[in-house]
A and B are shown apart, each in its own frame.
Chain A
């Protein structure tokens, strides 16, 4: 297993480097550079000034040289400096990463748990009213855009009912500590995490349902029944476990999509995470910061995928670690 992990990590590093190079050129395809943006904000037109800015940012050097400097930095774990925010990129990302991890992991956990739960119920009671209700709701949540769900959530739970805060990570100025702080953050987390998780929950519900119905028809389930096992044990130990494989695959693939969805969720709920940082960096053509966020996100996706592969093995012992 160790050699399997080592091999995957090595492959991951190569993929990451390829992503860095690709992103480097991709970003520069967008018109406008940081010097143009900053001169624009200053509301002034002075060629010497813009030239100075370009020199300061190192944008006057030939593109391959800029790439070489950047890759050299990444290899030595230096993500560079954001001239725009006058701070090292690693520090800027470090400040935001915990909030994003909290949001995405909560959303992920909620969606997976509820999705599998609802899917199991739907499959168990296939063809009944409960099944239809779950399927219809799953379809609705699957089809609704995240930003719309978010806005409707705010309208209902913040404006009309005043149950949950509409924005932010914590109550600003409340200076809470300990448990009170944790409760405060949790209150702020509910809506963004649910919003982000609903789409995925819907997907897992449908996937679990379909997969369970398929497994249920297989011969080994009949055998289990013939052995006289109780229905609950059959469902849990034999059907669900086998039915989970496609769900795990999907969950692994979703790690990237989850971060994409976080950009929108963080924007609507003013959640101080990395998604919003990426969006601002893009608008301001903050190349180093944007590349830094991409590197971190890509690394996260690679790690998630590695975890997925490991979980496979746990769920289905028949799968060998290819070495």
Chain B
């Protein structure tokens, strides 16, 4: 039932909203939940989820991405690519100012890139293909690459490459710069106040370069640490926006039934969070491909989607989410088939050795999912022992390869070269690191395919390479793919146009308005 209701609401609110061409109204205050409290708001230095969500309003990137992941102008108004696909020229928007009134120019872009290489792990990796960056004039930035890099236009969104004000950071000790606690950006909202443990307040940027925007006067991000208390805050009308993941899944059907409540699963296209189980390929029974395949057959992923995730999301077919470029579902299928799992285990000679399962310590939903998977695996005769840890402890264990099966979910950032290959190529096997190839899968053919795919031109060639890689990986099962996650964003229906891009709530509230 919840599934149908939710789907109905999704259709009613998420999809129908853009077709109602209402004239936006100006003014009003939005109260949104932020969970957990961000450790800091300086996006160039802190990249955790809540920081991105709040600071996506303060800072901006050169580009943003549509739900179909097409690049759209933000601080860059246009861009062009050279014939050999090695030179990218960005024309910056004129008349953009920082919140302190100083103009935003190409010098800021060059400075940001240098800073991000030292402070932003993902930007650092993304920029590895860049040979040099130049600014022929104040409003032009030219990137020259070492070799063509297919996903290059996909690395400029605000969370991946936020622009930093050079005049406030140059020559200072970045980690103790006072502007870390009172960030200055170019975005539609300005930082106003942060009562630690209570709320973060942003106010409208009156000098924003897009005339008439933003529509809202203020945003209050309320800090409410307990999941049940967050649900109550929405129920009692104290907050209007519950961004994805801020309430437990079992509360979602109840909240979406409240009066004037809209829910959408949109806004995750760029991140495409994909949940899977790390399988330690190095040791024990899981070193055998047949046992890993048995794990895939043994787990009822439709149950997890329908019951634990309330019907939101999609059962994963392989290493790429379906929203990622070059995705194919023309791969080996693993339906829920306990009998087949048992047969494979028998064939592999599994004798009931103990297998340690590490659930993800992200709250009740993940705890329940851990229990469901444990049950599934025990049903086919796998001897599971659950290990309880907190997030930091879990990361340490996974990074040290001290696990057998472990839950995770990772963002894919729109392109296999940015967010897929990293988990399967053997050069990313490095002890002590999380979120690389911690499963220890090593296949020279896969290494070559991902290496070629990143630099191949034209697009059709990339497609061919990545489709082949997906087929091989799905056959080998280096990890057990579970679901393409969708975190529902719950709002009062009077909140309009909150999510307009593939980056969702992390892209700022510049288009949002209140229908009072």
Contact = CB atoms under 8 A, between A and B. Distances in A.
Nearest to B428: A45
Contacts of A31: 389, 392-393, 396-397
Interface in A177-208: none
B367 interface: no
B435 interface: yes
A43 interface: yes
A172 interface: yes
Interface residues of A, number: 61
A105 interface: no
B77 interface: no
A119 B199 CA distance: 41
A270 B121 contact: no
A167 interface: yes
A282 B36 CA distance: 13
A210 B371 CA distance: 46
A168 B390 CA distance: 26
B224 A32 contact: no
Contacts of B226: 267-270
A277 B236 CA distance: 26
B228 interface: yes
Contact of A172 (B42, B124, B222, B432): B222
Given A40-B395, A85-B39, A166 B233 contact: yes
A60 to B, nearest CB: 13
A45 B435 contact: yes
B516 to A, nearest CB: 16
Interface residues of B, number: 62
B24 to A, nearest CB: 22
B197 A36 contact: no
Given A159-B232, A167-B238, A173-B29, A46 B175 contact: no
A72 interface: no
Contact of A270 (B223, B432, B434): B223
Contacts of A36: 392, 395-396, 399, 434
Given A86-B45, A167-B238, A272-B196, A45 B430 contact: yes
A44 B391 contact: no
A61 interface: no
B233 A167 contact: yes
B267 to A, nearest CB: 18
A84 to B, nearest CB: 5
A218 B434 CA distance: 68
Contacts of B180: 86
A83 interface: yes
A280 B36 contact: yes
Contacts of B197: 95-96, 99, 169, 270-273, 276-277
Interface of B: 29, 31, 36-37, 39-40, 42, 45-49, 118, 120-122, 124-125, 175-176, 180-181, 195-199, 201, 218, 220, 222-226, 228-229, 232-233, 235-236, 238, 389-397, 399, 410-411, 422, 428, 430, 432-436
Given A39-B434, A50-B433, A167-B238, 8 more contacts: A40-B392, A40-B434, A43-B410, A162-B236, A167-B232, A270-B198, A271-B197, A285-B392
14 contacts: A38-B46, A39-B121, A45-B121, A45-B435, A46-B121, A86-B40, A86-B45, A96-B196, A158-B236, A159-B236, A166-B233, A166-B236, A168-B198, A272-B223
